[in-house]
């Protein structure tokens, strides 16, 4: 399935049905009178978070969603039925924005969440509604109110516990394939990864989701390379695993380049807990590894490891470090949700 993480969609709620002008005419019944029913309400537009989706590719082929018009009122005091709703089904992690692509309407983080995006128009009153003692034969009815319409943006941000970041060819896809069952594309040229990949990682009795983000280059925040649009997928991550190519001549420069792009992107990515990994040490001598490790140590914000994805050396240490941080984060989140103490219990 093709990956698509952003789409622009037009939505329109249904018009309300018109009220009816009708009079009761039945044989052998002496008195008649108005009996026009009300129109039905127009359909609403909903967005619902469902299971089984991991991309917005469906919205590349259908960009217009319109709810149905309410049924018009009829004689014999029959009211019209409500128009059918239109529902946008989106995967977990989807955010919905107004046309300005900045104003957040909804943020779906759990399956089953549902939000009304546009209400349908009210149905019009039939002439039976206007009957009074002074006006016993009204010949007027209301038309239904028109529905609302607008353009919205759908933006998918993958739900992952940890995210892999780094320059192109730092070994992110190889790392993901080595620690999970994911099968990302791997090749010896830059920008092999064109869209994020997810993998489930098991470290001891811990299990977490790891996201592989396409490589960043200097100036990504200004649109260079693939840009920084994929960094939105690590906004929800609790840990960033920063891979640095150990065969690079300037490992400090490679590290600082990514840190600068995270800072330029914003959304507090630079403040997230980070684990730096000097990767590909299997291609270096022990002396070169020690030298580059010491070069990086003063610049790295969080923990620093030297590892090799190809040989598997120290990979388990990296995974266990990620797992410990995630455990601490979950405990902290659980404590925040506990109700505040209001004092000792008293009968």
Tokens found for residue 99: 């046309």
Tokens of 130: 């206007």
What pLDDT, in 10s, does the model give residues 83-138? 999 999 999 889 999 999 889 999 998 999 999 999 999 999 999 999 999 998 99
Q: What was the pLDDT predicted at 1?
A: 47
pLDDT of residue 231: 78
Q: Which two tokens stand for residue 27?
A: 């044989």
Write down the residue that tokens 């977990």 correspond to.
Answer: 92
Each residue's pLDDT, cut to its tens digit, for the chain (347 residues) gives: 467 888 999 999 999 999 999 998 888 777 788 999 999 999 999 999 998 888 888 898 899 999 999 999 999 999 999 999 999 999 988 999 999 988 999 999 899 999 999 999 999 999 999 999 999 899 999 999 999 999 999 998 877 888 888 888 888 888 888 888 767 666 555 555 666 777 888 887 888 888 888 777 676 666 655 556 677 777 888 899 999 998 888 889 988 988 888 888 877 888 888 899 999 898 888 898 899 989 888 888 788 999 988 888 889 999 999 988 888 887 766 666 556 555 565 55
CA–CA gap between residue 246 and residue 293 (Å, rounded): 9
Quick one: pLDDT at residue 159? Answer: 76
Return the pLDDT at 192. 59
pTM, two decimals, is 0.76
Looking at residue 85, what is its pLDDT? Answer: 96
Q: Nearest CA to 73 among 122, 123, 121, 19? A: 19
DSSP string for 226-292: TTTGGGGGGTT-SEEEEEEETTSS-HHHHHHHHHHHHHHH-TTGGGSEEEEEEE-GGGS-HHHHHHH
Which pair of tokens denotes residue 119?
Answer: 């209400």
How many degrees, rounded to 5, is the angle at CA 277 between CA 275 and CA 280?
A: 165
What tokens does 45 get? Answer: 């537009």
Q: How many CB atoms lie within 10 A of CB 330?
A: 12
Domains, in order of start, for the chain: 1-156 (2.70.210.12), 162-336 (3.40.50.300)
């Amino acid at each position: 399935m093709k990956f698509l993480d952003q789409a622009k969609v037009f939505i329109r709620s249904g018009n309300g049905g018109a009220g009816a002008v009708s009079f009761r005419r039945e044989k052998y019944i002496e008195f008649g009178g108005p009996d026009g029913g009300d129109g039905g309400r127009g359909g609403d537009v909903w967005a619902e978070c469902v299971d089984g989706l991991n991309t917005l590719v469906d919205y590349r082929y259908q960009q217009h969603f319109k709810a149905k018009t309410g049924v018009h009122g009829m004689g014999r005091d029959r009211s019209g039925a409500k128009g059918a709703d239109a529902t946008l089904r989106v995967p977990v992690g989807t955010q919905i924005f107004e046309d300005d692509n900045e104003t957040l309407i909804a943020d779906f983080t759990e399956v089953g969440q549902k939000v009304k995006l546009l209400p349908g128009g009210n149905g019009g009153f039939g002439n039976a509604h206007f009957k009074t003692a002074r006006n016993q034969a009204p010949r007027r009815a209301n038309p239904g109110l028109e529905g609302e319409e607008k353009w919205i943006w759908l933006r998918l941000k993958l739900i992952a516990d940890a995210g892999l970041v780094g320059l192109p060819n730092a070994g992110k896809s190889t790392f993901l394939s080595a620690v999970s069952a994911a099968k990302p594309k791997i090749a010896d040229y830059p920008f092999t990864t064109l869209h994020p990949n997810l993998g489930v990682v098991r470290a001891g009795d811990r299990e977490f989701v790891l996201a592989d983000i396409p490589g960043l280059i200097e100036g990504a925040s200004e649109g260079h390379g693939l840009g920084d649009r994929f960094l939105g997928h690590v906004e929800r991550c609790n840990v960033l695993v920063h891979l640095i190519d150990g065969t690079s001549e300037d490992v400090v420069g490679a590290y600082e380049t990514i840190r600068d792009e995270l800072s330029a992107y914003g959304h507090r990515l630079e403040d997230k807990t980070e684990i730096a990994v000097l990767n590909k040490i299997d291609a270096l001598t022990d002396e070169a590894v020690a030298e580059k490790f010491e070069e990086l140590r003063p610049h790295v914000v969080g923990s620093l490891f030297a590892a090799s994805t190809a040989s598997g050396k120290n990979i388990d240490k990296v995974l266990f470090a990620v797992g410990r941080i995630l455990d601490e984060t979950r405990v902290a989140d659980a404590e925040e949700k506990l109700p505040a103490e209001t004092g000792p219990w008293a009968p």
